[in-house]
Structure 1
Amino acid sequence: MKINLDDANLSADINDMLKAMKNMCEKEERSFLKSVGEIISRAVRKNMTWRSGIKKADYTHMQDDIQAVVKKDKNGRLYVRVQGGKKTGHKWRFLNDGAINKEGTVLVQATHFVEKSINDSQSEVDSEADKLIERIVKTDGK
């Protein structure tokens, strides 16, 4: 990125460059979030270490039913959501947080796989963000 300090239109040039960078960020946002979702999905799959012994053809294991979806919130901002699919999504809470019945007996031991997955993938997500920023700065947002 080169800036000529003798330029009379310096502030206009900088404004144009920043607008171009902002536009490129907006273009790249969905693909960046999709790649972040894939990174976290891999970590979730790795941290879901326990598999049931069920071998039925129509049974879906939680590790095989992970979805990473890019959505918009009510304010129009994009975000990525990593979740279980229709067949296994309801099980995530019990496996992650555990379950205790009213007598205090532990029915499902908590694994906290979601928190572990987020922590395990943080450096890879940061690296992906750094690559995106580097790509935007090198192209001056064009």
Structure 2
Amino acid sequence: QTPRPHGPEATQGSIEALLVHLLMLKPRMHSELADAIDQTNVHFNENSSEVITLLSAAIDRIATQQTSGLYVLREGLASQRYSLSFPHLSRVDHQVVTEHIETALRHADGATTIERTPPPPVHPAFIQVRALVAAP
């Protein structure tokens, strides 16, 4: 398996991607989000206290608190940040998420445009591959 890029930016991107995809399925408690990070912690190079800090920052950026302890994804982030190739969701979960996104886009006004965020950092071995894919 290819190692993840190093640094807090790569870790932050991984945490945010995981949280976005989990919150697309359903609202979650803070403890559920933290447990999901703990279960995939093998991918992160930072120590646990730094991961907790990054988790809190990610939750503040991508989620809003619906009720006491229950977080929902911020409006519009589902269509911007969803990745069909995200590995931590099952095929059924991906189908549920795409249905949620399609429903949200149907209910949005016609002037709504989807702005995609740039892709996360890539491992140096795949820089040329990404350049080929992104080339016109």
Do they fold alike, i.e. is TM over 0.5? Answer: no
* Structure number having the greater strand percentage: 1
TM bracket, shorter-chain basis? under 0.3
* Structure number having the greater helix percentage: 2
The TM-score, its normalising length taken from structure 2, stands at 0.24
Greater Cα radius of gyration, structure 1 or 2: 1
The TM-score, its normalising length taken from structure 1, stands at 0.24
